Structure 1
């Protein structure tokens, strides 16, 4: 039996109506609570924080009084800008929790996807928190914490093409298939096991590129079901399909600089604590599943709802 993921889209259907645009929910989400002062850089900051390789990174972070967190601005639902241009998402929320518990302020800095390990090593940021999958090559270039979540590989396809991607057999039976794939090597390797040998592959670094006019002839976007569900809210003519049988999963974890085992061990213990106290589950329900994320409506009143004197 094929698994077609609605994820956030299915759960949000009940709260979407003619009064809201198709992207109302995902773009209208806010942090559950802003816990510490945060500076968000849209462009790389001009100044970098001094780094002494001879001293533990955690000690330097505490001394500086601020945690510098790397992010990708298009990493729905982990880190992205809502319609009010606020940086929000699962991992943004987690960064606030971490900074609050350490008594620190926050600085969010944008990352270059082609230079992540280099930027971590150069102390451009202390940690990347943006839904970053673990792969063998990445793990050799940076130090990962223990995974805090797992995602399932899937295809984002137009609604009328869902049946074409429900099983591995149905995918391999297609001819002249064109698929957009994320630029990192592991995604390409996994996709090769699912696609026919004559499939045409288009590499994309930003999922938003898939929805551009020059991608109109591309049949599907290979990504994870969790991210695809968020994008399907913005583009409801698309659905997420997980090919059966044997779905392929990938772990998600936070990386720090290569070799910084002390910082990674400390933060891994912190992740374990957040699993135990229910924080991760609560954020997963809100940011990934979309529970309790319906748009806020004005309080009912006679003036507005009966007399119609105000909008």
Structure 2
């Protein structure tokens, strides 16, 4: 009895599920040993490359042979019916994708500035992607769409050729050899699956999971619905292929795609799996084999439902940055997605982000999550190819039918399960969004590193008002052991108070760096923008540093340093008002507008003279705008500062109107006669630009890089070691 159980278990492990067990063992190994198994990653990569050696030749051979053996009438009928099936799957899949897109919960949105806000929308060169002007170059570069187009053209040109037999027979023999190689590699591929899975599970960072957990839940629920419900049940409803048999046939290709995140390497496995199963159920013939050989690479080339699931990331990024895609955006976004996804996903996603004016840095989030998301995208693509090819084969043979009771069952069940999957997605993500750190907490907890002793004042001391300190130079500053910096209150992200009531910001961090290099303490004294020239020239402080615009009007009153940054003018307004400011033309056609600002008076005066319907009002502080937003239609501000303020006030957004908003320089200011100090500042800024200090400050305070604390990667072995050390 016991020996029979052991034999049955051994047969189960040995004959059917080596890939599955390699996958499970890899996950367990990664969780136990953590980053210690990172060395396995090159082994997994080697196995992937081993699988790839037959793929391009296989695509060439299968398409040319498959098409070449048809007659013209068959090809026309097959391609039309296959296109019908593909469009049907796209429609059903996109409907499911949009249903899941609207399960995103309420979110305290807000994000740091990204240069994508001002970059022009990208474009996709479809000619380069799909017109094989040099087929050999396309093969060398791995341009799959161009290769497929070339092979389709060559295969169809052989259909009417009476001498095609010898060429097709030769290519068919080559294809059989490639199939044998693929099967041999698949036999040892569990080793590669174990290596890749272990290294991925062991090195995946906590930050990656934490930052994108909402997206991961969203795409996981969507992928499971498409893989296990919609597509296989549609096949089971319309064809003689049973649901359980389909899952069994797909398992090796599915597990390989899940482990590697690569569909390309399993195309031969998919083709052979379909042909083998048709033989098993007595539905195989030469035509069915040819259809499978032709449609598998075509299905891979055209947008698959697996590839389209990455559209969820675009929805997630829009939601994360506080500009979720609305119901009215569905037609435009869908059309853009279908066009762009004919290209590579890594071309399509940046294009979609640019189209929706989502910061391009969001693409870096996608790349950081691609290891995980590929675990859903690739298996979903495998299921899609199986479903597409099987439905097309039976459609071409006029064997589709929906009259059976089983068909009704498999049509009704996906409709009933869709709300359940959507509810699961919404429930999990609502909890995750509630437990995640709000955007305003991130920016409000930022700190200045490497600080020197500082005194932060809320007024100008009387001792400074006598005018005796109006002439300042480096020697004076070093003798008094104190650098006095003027700052603007609540000028996020350049100078503001964090939750610990510490004065922080881009300029504040540079002020500490300057004081450190001078080996003196630093004192911060507040001022308002209109007081700049008066306070500097009377000697209330030595240097003004607070995102100061270098403008022509102030050049005659104070001395400016070389530019520290170049900022982009923008408009901040309530989210629902942003559409009015998308372009200069729309602004001019919006009627009377009352726009607030804290600086830029010379520039805005010129705008007001050209457009009388726009009135500008100067404020003392930016907080005045948020205290009485009903008085204004918007606020002119730098895009960099506007995004930071939107993190404190998520109901506001930032837009750079197309066709008119310009950039401007910002820097430090000193009194007119303090030329020695100005000379030192310019030289010091040149050094900081060269050694990367200003760039580092920009990345932290403006772009928000490094604002999240890094957590140590967890593993079971680390827990055991830590427990042993405590004992």
Common fold by TM > 0.5 = yes
Displacement after TM superposition at 1:204 (Å): 1.6
2:483 to 67, 78, 84: 67
| Shift of residue 203, structure 1, vs aligned partner | 2.6
- What does residue range 25-64 of structure 1 map to in structure 2 within 5 Å? 25-34=442-451, 36-48=452-464, 57-64=473-480
| Corresponding residue SS for 1:211 | helix
Q: What are the equivalent positions in structure 2 for 1:225-304 lying under 5 Å apart?
A: 225-294=639-708
Alignment of 1:1-311 (within 5 A): 17-19=433-435, 20-34=437-451, 36-48=452-464, 57-183=473-599, 185-189=601-605, 191-192=607-608, 196-212=611-627, 214-294=628-708
Partner of 2:463, secondary structure, is coil
Compute the displacement of 1:54 (Å): 11
Q: Which has the higher helix share?
A: 2
Greater mean alpha carbon deviation, residues 63-72 or residues 159-168: 159-168
Q: 1:139 offset after TM fit, Å?
A: 1.2
Q: Residues 233-269 of structure 1: CA distance to partner in whole angstroms, max 9, x if unpaired?
A: 0111111111112531111010001132221111100
Contact 1:31–1:88 (8 Å) recurs in 2: yes
Deviation at 1:188, TM superposition (A): 2.5
Residue 145 of structure 1 contacts residue 264 of structure 1 at CA under 8 Å; is this kept in 2?
A: yes
Q: CA offset at residue 226 of structure 1?
A: 0.8
Which secondary structure state, in structure 2, belongs to the residue aligned with residue 243 of structure 1? coil
Deviations 1:92-124, CA, capped at 9 Å, x for gaps: 100111111111111111124332212111221
Moved more, 257-266 or 279-288: 257-266
Cα distance, 1:219 vs. partner?
A: 1.6
Q: 1:8 to 1:183 in 2, by over 3 A?
A: farther
What secondary structure is seen at the aligned counterpart in 1 of 2:549? coil
Q: Kindly tell me: are residues 32 and 7 of structure 1, through their superposed partners in 2, closer, same or farther at Cα, counting changes over 3 Å? A: farther
Q: Decide whether aligned partners of structure 1 residues 109 and 18 sit closer, same or farther in structure 2, where only a CA change above 3 A counts.
A: same
- The alignment of Structure 1 onto Structure 2 pairs a total of residues equal to 298
Rg larger for: 2
Change (3 A) 1:179 1:49: closer
Contact 2:494–2:505 under 8 Å retained in 1 = yes
Question: What is the distance in 1 between the residues matched to 2:565 and 2:481?
Answer: 28
Taking structure 1 as reference, are residues 155 and 56 closer, same or farther at Cα in structure 2, changes over 3 Å only?
closer
- Measure the CA separation in 2 of the matches of 1:273 and 1:44: 31
CA 1:9–1:72: 2 relative to 1, 3 Å = farther
Change (3 A) 1:296 1:210: farther
CA separation in 1, counterparts of 2:651 and 2:491? 20
Once residues 54 and 181 of structure 1 are traced to their aligned partners in structure 2, the CA distance between those partners, rounded to angstroms, is: 30
Q: Secondary structure at the match of 2:556?
A: helix
Q: Which has the higher contact order (CA 8 A, sep 6+)?
A: 1
